[in-house]
Amino acid sequence: MSNALPESASVASGDGRSLGSGAPSFSPLYQQIKALMLRRLQAGEWRPGEAIPSEIELASRFKVSQGTVRKAIDELAAENLLVRRQGKGTYVATHSEQRMQYRFLRLTPDQPEHAGPIKREFLDCRRLRAPADIARILQLKAGDMVVEVRRVLHFAGRPVVLDDIWLPGHLFKGLSAERLSEYKGPMYGLFEAEFGVRMICASEKIRAVLPNETEMQLLKIPASTPLLSVERLSRTYDDQPVELRRGLYLTDAHHYRNELN
Amino acid sequence: MSNALPESASVASGDGRSLGSGAPSFSPLYQQIKALMLRRLQAGEWRPGEAIPSEIELASRFKVSQGTVRKAIDELAAENLLVRRQGKGTYVATHSEQRMQYRFLRLTPDQPEHAGPIKREFLDCRRLRAPADIARILQLKAGDMVVEVRRVLHFAGRPVVLDDIWLPGHLFKGLSAERLSEYKGPMYGLFEAEFGVRMICASEKIRAVLPNETEMQLLKIPASTPLLSVERLSRTYDDQPVELRRGLYLTDAHHYRNELN
DNA sequence: GAGTGGTCTAGACCACACT
DNA sequence: GTGTGGTCTAGACCACTCC
C-alpha cells in the first residue's frame, strides 16, 4: 500500500503505535483525504454552489482508489458540506438553496397551509466593543469589535420573531443595514457569498420567558405573553464560533419543530 | 449477478423499467437486505441488547457479498437501530444504555455541574377511551382504549417537568403505576423490554405557555411563570405512532438543548 | 456516446476484543 | 490465535444527465 499523500502526512499506521497516553495511533486514509478536502473548502478553493472535481479525478490526484475518495465524500455529504447529484457531479453546499432554508429556521406555522413569504425588517446594525459575556461566548478578546444586528421577522404581515445578532467584527467588515436589506435570500447566504463565512452547525438553548418593555412594543404583544427564547451559537469549520443570536419567538400561531432521530 | 434473495423479492433491475408514472423502477440490493434485517428487528427475532449474526454470516445467508451487508448495516447503524462494536460484533440498540438516555430528554441544567440524578414520580396511570384529538394523532379509531400517564420529574429535589402521556391501549396491556414506579431505568427501556415496543424516532412541537391552576400546584410555581410546552409524537418501525406526550418544562434553571447540523 | 455518481463483488490486510 | 468489524484496492457494471 502506498500511503505517500502528495500534500500531507501519511498514515500513522500500526508501526508507530502506543505513542503517548491515549493518543490516537491510527488514522484511516479516507479521513486524511477528508481532511485535505475540508482544507480546500475552508480556504475557498472550492466555492459554494460549484462542482468539485470528479471522484476519479480526485482519486488520481490523491493517489488512492475511487472507493477511498467516495468514503471521504460520503462523510462530507452526511455533514451537509457537499451535495451529490447522480450523473452530474458533487457540489459544494450553499445556504442559497431552498433545501437549506429551513435547516436553521425551525419556527413553523401551526397550520402549514398558512405558510407564506417571510418579511425581514432590520432595525439596527452597529459596530461596538463586545460586552464581556458576548466576547466570552464568541471566544473574542475583551474589547474586540463586534457587529450587532437587530431585526424582526414578519409572518403573514405580523411580527413573530425578534432577533439580536452578534458577529465578530474582523470577519464582517463593511456589513451594514443597507447590505442586509438589499440582499435577496437568506442571511447565511449573504455571509457565505460576501464575507466567505460559512455556518456549518449550531447549538441552541431554548427557554420560556416573558418580554420586557421594548420587546413588547416590537412584537406588539401584551406583557403577559410567554415567548420562546432561543440562544444560538453558530460555528464554521473547525468548530470556530462566528455568530451568537438571541431570538424571541411568538408561539401563539407557530411552533418550534424538532425531530429526534 | 445472482439476485435471488432466498427470502424476498429480487432486484427490480433495469429490465422492467419505467413501469407506471414515477414509480421507483430500481431498488439496490443493499436496500433489500436492509429491509429484510428491519423485518427481523421488528418481529423481535433480534432483541435489544443482543448481537446479530456477523457480517460474513449474513452475507452467506443472503447470498451477497460482505460489502453489501456492510452497507445495509451502515444505514441501520446511522438510524440508531444497530450499534457496531469493533472486534465484538453488531448489536441491536436499546434504550437501557447511558448512550441513549439523553437522546430524547433534551432538558439540561444551565450549569452542567449541577446535574444530578432525576427522580420520577408517577401521579396517575389509567385506562380510558381516547379523546377525539388524542385518537386522531395516535391514528386510533374513536373509542379505542388508551393508557394515560401523568408524572413529574424532579431535578435536585425540585419539580421541573410535568408530563402527560398517552399510549395505545392494545400495545400496553398490564401497564400500571406500580410497574412504572418499580422499573429501574428509562421508561422507553421498560416499553421495549416488557411490551416489545421500541421508540425509533419522534417529532416535537415546542411553544411557550403559562400554567393553569393544576400545573401551578404540581410544579410549585406562581401563575406568571412561563413554561416550555413540548408535544412529542413518538414512532416505532414503519413510522407507526405509539406515544403522544405533552410536557411542561420549567426553564428557570434548565434549558432545552438542540444541535443544528 | 461520454462522463459522473451509485452498486456490487472478491480479496487482502489491519485494528480490536476475547480467550 | 481466532473471530469480529474496519480499511483499501481494482474492476465490472448500472443509472442518470447532458450533448
Is the predicted pLDDT of residue A139 greater than 60, yes or no? yes
The rounded distance, in Å, linking the Cα atoms of B5 and B56 is 16
Nearest to A8 by CA among A33, A27, A28, A45: A33
State the fold for domain B98-256: Chorismate lyase (3.40.1410)
pLDDT, greater one: B24 or B69: B69
pLDDT band at A12 (very low <50, low <70, confident <90, very high): very low
CATH of B11-92, picked from 2.160.20.10, 1.10.10.10, 3.20.20.140, 1.10.260.40, is 1.10.10.10
Q: Which residues of A touch B (CB under 8 A)?
A: 78-80, 103-104, 106, 201-210, 224, 226-228, 232, 249, 251, 255-261
The strand D neighbours among A residues 179-238, by Cβ under 7 Å, are none
User: Of all helices (H) and strands (E), which one includes residue B59?
Assistant: helix B55-62
pLDDT band at A11 (very low <50, low <70, confident <90, very high): very low
Nearest to B209 by CA among B194, B227, B197, B192: B227
φ, ψ dihedrals at B49, nearest 5°? 90, -20
**Mean pLDDT of the region B206-225:** 98
> Grid coordinates in use for B114?
449541577
Q: Please, are residues A228 and A221 in contact by the beta-carbon 8 Å criterion?
A: no
**Tens digits of residue pLDDT in A50-68:** 999 999 999 999 999 999 9
Strand D closer than 7 A to residue A29 Cβ: yes
Q: Ramachandran region of residue B200, left (φ > 0), alpha (ψ -120 to 50) or beta?
A: alpha
Nucleotide nearest to A70 (CA to C1'): C5
User: Strand, helix or coil at A98?
Assistant: helix
**Mean pLDDT of the region B132-136:** 96
The rounded distance, in Å, linking the Cα atoms of B238 and B243 is 14
The rounded distance, in Å, linking the Cα atoms of B195 and B182 is 15
> Grid coordinates in use for A193?
457569498
Runs of H (alpha helix) within B79-206: 98-104, 132-137, 177-182, 187-194
Is the predicted pLDDT of residue A98 greater than 90, yes or no? no
At residue B163, the pLDDT reads 98
User: For chain B, what is the largest distance between any 2 Cα atoms, rounded to a whole number of angstroms?
Assistant: 70
At residue A16, the pLDDT reads 34
Contact criterion met (CB < 8 Å) for A255 and B206: yes
Is the predicted pLDDT of residue A151 greater than 60, yes or no? yes
Is the predicted pLDDT of residue B14 greater than 50, yes or no? no
User: Strand, helix or coil at A197?
Assistant: coil
- Which residues, other chains included, contact B174 with Cβ-Cβ below 8 Å and sequence gap of 6+? none
Domain ranges of chain A: 11-92, 98-256
The set of strand D positions with any atom below 7 Å of a protein CB reads: 3-11, 14-18
- Which residues, other chains included, contact A53 with Cβ-Cβ below 8 Å and sequence gap of 6+? A61
Strand D closer than 7 A to residue A61 Cβ: no
In the 8-state DSSP scheme, what is residue B144? -
| Lowest mean per-residue pLDDT among A203-207, B183-187, B240-244, B254-258 | B183-187
Is the predicted pLDDT of residue B49 greater than 80, yes or no? yes
The rounded distance, in Å, linking the Cα atoms of A52 and B203 is 35
Q: How far in angstroms lies nucleotide D3's C1' from the CA of residue A72?
A: 28
Q: What percent of chain A has pLDDT over 90?
A: 84
How does the average pLDDT of chain A come out, rounded?
91
